[in-house]
Amino acid sequence: MDTTINSNQVYVEDDFHALEKITDDIKNDNQNGNYYTRKSLYRNFDPLVSVNQSFAETTVVEVRDTNVSNVTVNCTPCTPFKRAESDYQSAVSDTPLLMDFNTPAPRKMRPEDGGDTPGNVTMFHTPNASPKPDVLISTTNNKAAETIKLLRVQELALQEQLIKKDQEICKLTSENESYKQKCADYFGMVMSLSSSGVDIMHSFGDSLTYQDTEKQSYANKINALMKERDQALEDVQGVENSFAELHRRYEKMKSALEMTKQNEELIMRQCCELQEKLKEKDELYETLKLKADSDAYNANALVENAKKSTEREITVLRAQLKKAEMKVNGLQSQIDQKNEENSELTQMIDELTKLKC
């Protein structure tokens, strides 16, 4: 029997669970008398079935006598599995074929007996036929089918274990290779680190010098920052004082604003009162204006009348004045005449006086 396992074939968990189902099928077949010994529902687990090659050989057994010790078994290459079942059924229906797995293991034929062919096994031949071939064939076929199925189940279980072991071996091999690669990488890293140790020491010394310089510069920066911090604190104190002063001013302005608001409200009330009074005064003014207009009209009428009467009186007085002036002028002329006469008389008296002297 060929037990070669195809390592490229991948099995899943559902394939392994199929073992339970095939066991149940075997039991049902045994109860129903089914003797399809070459039938397999699980070709992935059948070592006699390969994907890339022909299936294993089947054994055709010709029974010629009831004496199982003298059975001739002729093993010939069979067709692939898809034809094995039909050939087997036709062989069972046409000839009394049987593989007896209950007999002792047959002895292999020696090379000098013609048994060096890989496709042949130990053969037994019974020249005489069984007195009851149908009963013997049925019983033996049932036993052979049951035995073959049980052997297939055991073989599938062993193949499952073998596949798991192969998978574990592949996994461990890959892990071993990865660990070897990691070890080689680590060794290379260690060698590179050991070769660059001097450079690292120089770099470390340079880094120490650089760190000292950086520390000094950082100390100077810290001192400058501390001075700036003190100055900032003073500025903050000044800002706080300014803020306090501003807050006091704000409070004063707030109180002044409140007072202004109160005064504004008071002024608004007074303004409303004054507007009401102004309205009353406007009404009184309109009344007085109307009254004054009427009085002025009456006064103008009186003035016109008085003016007219005065003009008449003035005209009369002017006439009287002119008359008086004319009278005065007449009297003045008389006075002038009298004065002339008096002056003449005076001269005459003077002359007479002189004459008397």
| Contact present, 126 and 63 (Cβ < 8 Å) | yes
pLDDT score, position 207:
81
pLDDT in tens, 138-156: 777 787 888 888 888 888 8
Q: So what's the pLDDT on residue 276?
A: 92
pLDDT for 136 equals 62
- Taking only the tens place, the pLDDT of each residue in 253-280 is 999 999 999 999 999 999 999 999 999 9
**Which mean pLDDT values do the consecutive 10-residue runs of the chain (357 residues) have?**
45 57 59 44 44 39 39 38 44 42 44 42 41 62 82 87 89 88 84 74 81 88 90 90 91 91 91 91 91 89 89 90 90 90 89 82
Query: What pLDDT is stored for residue 24 in this prediction?
Result: 64
pTM above 0.85, yes or no: no
Question: CB under 8 Å, gap of 24 or more: what pairs does 56-59 form?
Answer: 56/1, 56/2, 57/2, 57/119, 58/84, 58/87, 58/88, 59/99, 59/121
Cα–Cα dist 48/52, whole Å: 12
Sign of CA pseudo-dihedral 215, 216, 221, 223: positive
What is the secondary structure of 23-66 as a DSSP string? Answer: HHHHHHHHHHT---TT--S-TTT-TT--SSS----EEEEE--SS
Q: How far apart are CA 250 and CA 93, in angstroms?
A: 122
